[in-house]
């Protein structure tokens, strides 16, 4: 249903006789968005921009300081017909131009009026900075003269040969780092250590200086062709209270070519990539003990992480946001997305028939809906994560920021909604419906969150193990593996599983046996000579030698371990060990004999979850095999151990090999958990079409007593605060 556009306005008499015109400093550029021509008004003196569609520009272009507004409106109606702005739209347009300080005339060229408008803009800027307290901009100086001086040199980077140089540097960086991926990822575990923070900040400072000058020179280079591209502000941006350089290249918005605007928006990241490539080359060619080695790694880290989380993410209003806005040809994507979501509420919830719809096409409606929701969620998530990170180191500051966030994101919007419901003239005819809708929504949310009980489930990761298991370790004396039973072989009691050789021990046995034969001959000779005392001495030596022989025979028997019970011989890596020496020092497990008909699952639960599981022994759980979500079967909890364990049932449950449990950094085997955990033992009840294998990872879902979502969220919040700050 089209929105009603009333032709007349009761406030028209206030502006009808005025004779304003655009300020002489205003520059006008034509741009095309989604096949429609728009006019962008820019005042370089205050860096203000305003976008006008065809009818609005036609109206503004007729304001020459001689015609009255009423005359201009009449001319527009004669020339444009139904496309002409209504009186209300004309008043709104004039007010926006006036507030942006783009209009002059009777309204005021006087200093008091200008000051008032300046104060209004400053008030909006301050409010914007308060709501973006983690991303504050502080302008310091005008770099335009410096950029003009060096543009002849650095502007050439954006020519065709600059792109070739860029590709060569990036390719070289990838080539040099190709054989060092393991070292690259391993070094990332220490990048946030306190000892590395000074180097990390220095790297960020260096990278961001080049990043911002990339924007500045690109803006000057492409703006020169169109008579614009001025850069008048450079300063410090407090990114999460960390001072970093920034440059204001918003004059690029007035360029006609969207591809030039996109290039300017991407210039910072395009500069960071070859810098990271050069840093990668230096990193691979320097010693690990050198400071330049660590600095280059930090520069690579900054160029990648900052691009991923901030500059390269269009959900935050940084470089990628403006790139996406130009690619979609939707200017002001973020504010218009919020306006569109507000319009949907006003139009379809409150019933405001004359609500202003900022979307002009079906495509814009879809993008506004998606972007408005996604950017809000992402912004809240990343700001919450940053606040938690700051609170980890500075608890009091983190608490203040959390209180401020609640005020800015919850209390302030709530106050605006209440003020809007109580006073706005838009709701004059539908105020009861609007208030009722809000109250009904609040009641539904309160009931759904605070009263209706929702399922409370816990998801744990576990490992499949046999109940009966015989581990076969390397022989105590070591030996070379010469023969073995293949993996996954059914064995009987007493069956030899593998055979090792130890030539040193075998030679020692032969030597002892030869000595025994010699001693026996000497003993018999003494008896023949009727020397019993001497024969007794030889008999004692024979006894000692026999005990040594028996001990060696026991050790040699260990070179051929056998199965003590019937079962399945599992030794997945044994083929790779043929002919290898089995070192007794590590006493590594070569394989195991297990009964695959009698399995259990050992699941682990962190302390914040494990305490809630007491009393669930005997309960049925839902089990799924990791990587095979369709294979689902029940199980029964048989035992829950106390939270005193720290050694994982298997290294596959730890972070190092893809598990969900954090492991201690000082444990090379990856089986020591970072914190103590509960162990839950579960007997699986598998159907005939599912066969569990020992060593498989499974996901266990345990259903607890249902609770309202508010109770569950409050518990999760308290556990988060307790775990991080040891309070509550």
Give me the pLDDT at residue 122, please.
55
CA-closest candidate to residue 125, choices 106, 100, 155, 148: 100
Instruction: Please give the mean pLDDT across all residues of the chain.
Output: 83
Sketch out the chain's domains with CATH numbers: 12-127 (3.90.930), 132-329 (no CATH), 374-451 (no CATH), 461-466+598-725 (2.40.30.170), 469-588 (no CATH)
Query: Please, are residues 613 and 640 in contact by the beta-carbon 8 Å criterion?
Result: yes
Packed helices 412-423 and 431-450: angle between N→C axes, nearest 10 degrees: 150
Greater confidence (645 vs 27) lies with 27
Residue 645: DSSP 8-state: E
The rounded distance, in Å, linking the Cα atoms of 638 and 248 is 64
Residue 407: DSSP 8-state: I
Residue 496: DSSP 8-state: B
Most confident segment among 326-340, 529-543, 555-569 = 326-340
The rounded distance, in Å, linking the Cα atoms of 716 and 709 is 10
What does the pLDDT average to over 485-492? 86
Query: Please, are residues 318 and 214 in contact by the beta-carbon 8 Å criterion?
Result: no
Query: Please, are residues 586 and 619 in contact by the beta-carbon 8 Å criterion?
Result: no
Looking at 197-284, which runs of residues are DSSP E strands? 234-239, 242-247
Backbone Cα Rg of the chain: 39
Q: Which two tokens stand for residue 435?
A: 């208030």
Greater confidence (723 vs 71) lies with 71
Q: How many CA atoms lie within 13 A of 98 on its CB side?
A: 17
The rounded distance, in Å, linking the Cα atoms of 319 and 381 is 19
Residue 109 has pLDDT above 60, yes or no: no
Element (H, E) at 27: strand 27-33
Residue 442 has pLDDT above 60, yes or no: yes
Segments in 100-143 forming alpha helices (H): 111-131
Q: Which tens digits make up the pLDDT trace of 60-97?
A: 999 988 899 899 999 999 998 888 999 888 888 888 88
Give me the pLDDT at residue 325, please.
93
Residue 199 has pLDDT above 70, yes or no: yes
pLDDT band at 596 (very low <50, low <70, confident <90, very high): confident
Torsion of CA 640, 641, 647, 651, to 10 degrees: -10
Greater confidence (599 vs 118) lies with 599
Give me the pLDDT at residue 267, please.
93
Query: Please, are residues 632 and 623 in contact by the beta-carbon 8 Å criterion?
Result: yes
CA-closest candidate to residue 709, choices 533, 481, 455: 455
Q: How many CA atoms lie within 13 A of 495 on its CB side?
A: 15
pLDDT band at 1 (very low <50, low <70, confident <90, very high): very low
The rounded distance, in Å, linking the Cα atoms of 346 and 174 is 53
pLDDT band at 115 (very low <50, low <70, confident <90, very high): very low
Instruction: Return the biggest CA–CA distance within the chain.
Output: 150
Least confident of 234-238, 558-562, 566-570, 718-722: 718-722
Greater confidence (374 vs 106) lies with 374
pLDDT band at 324 (very low <50, low <70, confident <90, very high): very high
Segments in 451-589 forming alpha helices (H): 503-528, 532-558
CA-closest candidate to residue 479, choices 558, 392, 393: 558
Q: Which tens digits make up the pLDDT trace of 237-284?
A: 877 677 889 898 888 888 888 999 999 999 999 999 999 999 999 999
SS3 readout for 651-708: HHHEHHHCCCECECCCCCCCCEEEEEEEEEEEEECCCCCCCCCCCCEEEEEEEEEEEE
What does the pLDDT average to over 196-209? 90
CA-closest candidate to residue 214, choices 142, 255, 141, 162: 162
Query: Please, are residues 563 and 497 in contact by the beta-carbon 8 Å criterion?
Result: yes
CA-closest candidate to residue 674, choices 688, 699, 656: 656
CA-closest candidate to residue 141, choices 251, 248, 243: 248
The rounded distance, in Å, linking the Cα atoms of 358 and 337 is 8
Q: Which two tokens stand for residue 415?
A: 């106050």
The rounded distance, in Å, linking the Cα atoms of 368 and 359 is 8
Give me the pLDDT at residue 5, please.
66
Q: Which tens digits make up the pLDDT trace of 156-195?
A: 888 888 889 999 999 999 999 888 887 887 777 677 777 8
The rounded distance, in Å, linking the Cα atoms of 98 and 93 is 8
Q: Which tens digits make up the pLDDT trace of 249-258?
A: 888 888 888 9
Residue 599 has pLDDT above 70, yes or no: yes
Least confident of 275-289, 584-598, 613-627: 584-598
What does the pLDDT average to over 445-458? 89
612's CB contacts (< 8 A; 6+ apart) are 458, 704
Query: Please, are residues 299 and 207 in contact by the beta-carbon 8 Å criterion?
Result: yes
Greater confidence (667 vs 378) lies with 378
Give me the pLDDT at residue 388, please.
76
What does the pLDDT average to over 619-646? 84
Whole-number Cα distances in Å, 216 to 171, 250, 268, 355: 26, 10, 9, 40
For every residue of 250-263, DSSP letters joined together read: GGGGG-S-HHHHHH
403's CB contacts (< 8 A; 6+ apart) are none
Q: Which two tokens stand for residue 176?
A: 């040099």
Q: Which tens digits make up the pLDDT trace of 501-521?
A: 888 888 888 888 898 888 888
The rounded distance, in Å, linking the Cα atoms of 457 and 501 is 54
SS3 state of residue 337: helix
Place of tokens 């691979």: 284
Give me the pLDDT at residue 249, please.
87
Residue 604 has pLDDT above 80, yes or no: yes
The rounded distance, in Å, linking the Cα atoms of 415 and 413 is 5
The rounded distance, in Å, linking the Cα atoms of 461 and 92 is 60
Question: From edge to edge, which strands make up the β-sheet containing 234-239?
Answer: 135-141, 234-239, 242-247
Whole-number Cα distances in Å, 692 to 595, 596, 683, 689: 12, 8, 12, 10
Give me the pLDDT at residue 120, please.
56
Give me the pLDDT at residue 108, please.
43
Q: Which tens digits make up the pLDDT trace of 385-398?
A: 877 777 766 677 77
Residue 492: how many other CB atoms lie within 10 Å:
10
Residue 117: how many other CB atoms lie within 10 Å:
18
Which residues are 640's β-sheet partners? 680
């Amino acid at each position: 249903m089209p929105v009603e556009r009333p032709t007349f306005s009761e406030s028209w008499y206030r502006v009808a006789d005025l004779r304003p015109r655009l300020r002489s400093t205003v520059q006008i550029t034509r741009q095309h968005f989604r096949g429609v021509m728009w006019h962008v008004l820019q005042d370089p003196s205050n860096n203000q921009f305003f976008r006008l569609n065809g009818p609005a520009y036609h109206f503004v272009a007729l304001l020459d300081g001689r015609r009255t507004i009423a005359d201009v409106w009449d001319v527009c109606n004669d020339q444009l017909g139904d496309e002409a702005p209504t009186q209300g739209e004309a008043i709104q347009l004039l007010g926006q131009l006036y507030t942006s300080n783009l209009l002059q005339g009777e309204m005021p060229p006087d200093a008091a009026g200008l000051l008032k408008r300046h104060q209004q803009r400053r008030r909006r800027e301050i409010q914007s900075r308060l709501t973006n307290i983690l991303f504050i901009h502080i302008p310091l100086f005008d770099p335009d003269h410096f950029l003009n001086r060096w543009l002849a040199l650095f502007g050439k980077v954006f020519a065709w040969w600059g792109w070739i140089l860029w590709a060569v540097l990036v390719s070289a960086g990838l080539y040099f780092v190709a054989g060092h991926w393991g070292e690259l990822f391993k070094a990332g575990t220490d990048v946030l250590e306190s000892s590395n923070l000074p180097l990390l900040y220095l790297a960020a400072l260096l990278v961001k200086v080049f990043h911002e000058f990339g924007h500045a020179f690109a803006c000057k280079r492409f703006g020169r062709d169109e008579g614009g591209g001025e850069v008048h502000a450079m300063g410090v941006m407090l990114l999460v209270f960390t001072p970093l350089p920034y440059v204001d290249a918003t004059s690029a918005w007035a360029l006609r070519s969207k591809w030039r605007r996109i290039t300017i928006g991407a210039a910072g990241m395009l500069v960071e990539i070859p810098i990271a490539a050069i840093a990668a080359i230096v990193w691979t060619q320097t010693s690990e003990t050198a400071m330049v080695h660590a600095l280059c790694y930090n520069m690579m880290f900054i160029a990648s992480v900052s691009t991923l989380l901030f500059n390269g993410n269009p959900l935050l209003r940084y470089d990628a946001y403006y790139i996406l806005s130009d690619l979609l040809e939707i200017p002001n994507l973020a504010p218009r997305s919020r306006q569109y979501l507000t319009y949907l509420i006003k139009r379809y919830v409150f019933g405001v028939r004359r609500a202003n719809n900022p979307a002009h096409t079906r495509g814009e409606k879809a993008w506004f809906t998606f972007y408005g929701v996604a950017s809000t969620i992402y912004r809240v998530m990343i700001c919450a994560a940053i606040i938690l990170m700051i609170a980890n180191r500075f608890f009091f500051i983190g608490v203040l920021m959390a209180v401020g966030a609640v005020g800015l994101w919850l209390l302030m919007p709530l106050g605006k909604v209440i003020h809007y419901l109580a006073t706005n003239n838009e709701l004059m005819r539908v105020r009861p419906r609007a208030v009722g809708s809000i109250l009904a929504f609040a009641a539904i949310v309160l009931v759904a969150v605070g009263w209706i009980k929702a399922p409370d489930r816990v998801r744990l990761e576990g490992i499949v193990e046999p109940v009966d298991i015989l581990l076969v370790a390397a022989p105590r004396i070591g030996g070379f593996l010469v023969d073995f039973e293949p993996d996954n072989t059914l064995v009987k009691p007493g069956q030899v599983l593998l055979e090792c050789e130890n030539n040193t021990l075998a030679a020692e046995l032969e030597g002892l046996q030869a000595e025994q034969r010699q001693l026996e001959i000497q003993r018999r000779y003494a008896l023949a000579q009727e020397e019993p005392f001497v024969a007794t001495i030889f008999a004692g030596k024979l006894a000692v030698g026999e005990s040594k022989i028996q001990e060696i025979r026991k050790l040699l028997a260990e070179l051929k371990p056998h199965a003590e019970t019937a079962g399945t011989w599992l030794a997945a890596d044994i083929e790779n060990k043929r002919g290898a020496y089995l070192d007794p020092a590590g006493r590594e497990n070569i394989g195991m004999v297990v009964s695959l008909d009698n399995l259990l699952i050992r699941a682990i639960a962190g302390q914040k979850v494990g305490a809630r599981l007491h009393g669930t022994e005997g309960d049925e759980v839902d089990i799924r095999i990791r990587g095979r979500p369709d294979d689902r079967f029940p199980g029964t909890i048989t035992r829950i151990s106390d939270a005193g364990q720290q050694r994982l049932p298997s290294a596959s449950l730890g972070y190092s090999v893809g598990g969900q449990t954090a492991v201690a950094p000082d444990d090379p085997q990856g089986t020591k958990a970072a914190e103590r955990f509960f162990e839950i033992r579960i007997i699986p009840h598998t159907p005939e079409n599912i066969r569990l294998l020992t060593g498989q990872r499974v996901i266990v879902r345990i259903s607890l007593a249902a609770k309202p979502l508010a109770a569950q969220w409050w518990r999760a919040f308290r556990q988060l605060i307790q775990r991080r700050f040891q309070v509550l």
